[in-house]
Amino acid sequence: MVDHYLDPDCGYCQAQAHPDEKHVGDFGYLVGELPNSVVVIFNEQSHPGRVIVANKKHVSEMVDLTDDERNAYFAEVNQVAKALHKLFNPDKINYGAYGDGGSHLHFHLVPKYEGQAEWGKPFAMNPGVTHLAGDEAYEKVASDLRAELGI
């Protein structure tokens, strides 16, 4: 049961309203929900395993959360990061939260590898490259993440 406002124009909110729909807006593939967040595979996979962890509440800033809500959300961001480390074994995970292109609080978690393009630099938000082809490939990553996250 959803106990907070869901914006009808927001992909992250609609992922909560329609959890059986695997496509999240035009940008992602639903992994599932944790108690305080929604986990989405970003369609653009030039960095394999790139995901988004969106807070369930439709807020645009961390300051819009209570201390307890913020701490619970970041514990889940950490939980997803641990799953990515286990599944993808990256040298580093970059975290990106910009928010000026969308009004729902979310973080991009981007596994990176030494020697790979963009190592030592910020990742390109939308480089226009998609390395996973089709729902079957997205579902394999989503299934692995669900198993690791216990969802």
pTM: 0.93
Task: List, for residues 16-54, the tens digit of each pLDDT value.
Answer: 999 999 999 888 999 999 999 999 999 888 899 999 999
Three state DSSP letters for the chain:
CCCCCCCCCCHHHHHHHCCCCCEECCCEEEEEECCCEEEEEECCCCCCCCEEEEECCCCCCHHHCCHHHHHHHHHHHHHHHHHHHHHHCCCEEEEECCCCCCCCCEEEEEEECCCCCCCCCCCCCCCCCCCCCHHHHHHHHHHHHHHHHCC
- Residue ranges of domains in the chain, CATH in brackets: 11-149 (3.30.428.10)
Residue 1 has pLDDT above 60, yes or no: no
Residue 120 has pLDDT above 60, yes or no: yes
Task: List, for residues 52-72, the tens digit of each pLDDT value.
Answer: 999 999 999 999 999 999 999
